[in-house]
Amino acid sequence: MATGGGGDDAGEKRVTDRYLKREVLGEGTYGVVFKAIDTKTGETVAIKRIRLGKYKEGVNFTALREIKLLKELKDPNIIELIDAFPYKGNLHLVFEFMETDLEAVIRDRNIVLSPADIKSYIQMMLKGLAFCHKKWVLHRDMKPNNLLIGAEGQLKLGDFGLARIFGSPERNFTHQVFARWYRAPELLFGTKQYGSAVDVWAAGCIFAELLLRRPFLQGSSDIDQLGKIFAAFGTPKSSQWPDMVCLPDYVEYQFVSAPPLRSLFPMASDDALDLLSRMFYI
């Protein structure tokens, strides 16, 4: 993977000789994602073009981190990074092409999601996440549109731009990660030390969203998000979570008891409710 030192010439050769650009798939603050054909293999790929900006080394460090992690994370349920190269002031990341994402599937009311479909998606999501955690990687941006779906229905974790290595000794991280609706209560209370449980909480929110066909906990602010969490699962007691009152952004909430989980997910199986209760552990 060329990322500097004459890499732009090599990048130009890749773009002109190997990859045939097709339509734009999406745009964001980082740059553009477009569809392309890899003439070497005949496969369709997705190319993320990231603006390098004014970095002295010519490379976006977030993108470099994503490249480094994805080189280590080779798993059937994690998006494959095929190639990476600089070209005309941009960094190009070439990924296997995926047809859609889980958010689009959930929102499409023409798609019927059977219990077997939901179980399959959850299994693939958790297998990919378990592999990340086995490699001491936190994803930190689990949400439906970062779970990519292939033509055969396979689900893969994507977008590792916020991912970080974790482990011992504990490191301090920012708590401003994940989209709010998928953020664990300890993050909302401002903790800077956390582990794999924050990914599991977000995965639980995604599981709930698959069951409900809508986002489960839709807070309008961090305070409101915590209120919705405690309304669903009960306000934790100090005996249950002793360190809660010591967290930087701790706010006391009125105590409420948790309603039966069955009342929140009336159509879920007993096994699904059992798994949800473990993922939403406070």
Q: Express each pLDDT in 65-96 by its tens digit.
A: 889 999 999 999 999 999 999 888 889 999 99
Gap between the Cα atoms of 205 and 211, Å rounded: 10
pLDDT digits (tens, 9 = 90+) for 98-145: 999 999 999 999 999 999 999 999 999 999 999 999 999 999 999 999
28 marked ligand binding residue: yes
Q: What CATH number was assigned to the domain covering residues 7-96?
A: 3.30.200.20
Gap between the Cα atoms of 244 and 278, Å rounded: 19
126 marked ligand binding residue: no
Q: Please, are residues 158 and 79 in contact by the beta-carbon 8 Å criterion?
A: yes
112 marked ligand binding residue: no
Gap between the Cα atoms of 203 and 216, Å rounded: 12
Q: Pick the catalytic residue: 38, 141, 159, 222?
A: 141
Q: Where in the chain is the domain with CATH 1.10.510.10?
A: 100-279
Indicate the pLDDT class of residue 153, thresholds 50, 70 and 90: very high
pLDDT greater than 50 at residue 58: no
- In this prediction, residue 89 carries a pLDDT of 82
161 versus 148: the higher-pLDDT residue is 148
Active site residue 141: yes
Sheet holding 90-96, edge to edge: 19-27, 31-38, 44-51, 90-96, 81-87
Q: Where in the chain is the domain with CATH 3.30.200.20?
A: 7-96
The DSSP 8-state label assigned to residue 78 in this structure reads: B
In CATH terms, is domain 100-279 a member of 1.10.510.10? yes
140 dihedral zone (left: phi>0; alpha: psi -120 to 50; beta) = left
Indicate the pLDDT class of residue 53, thresholds 50, 70 and 90: low
31 marked ligand binding residue: yes
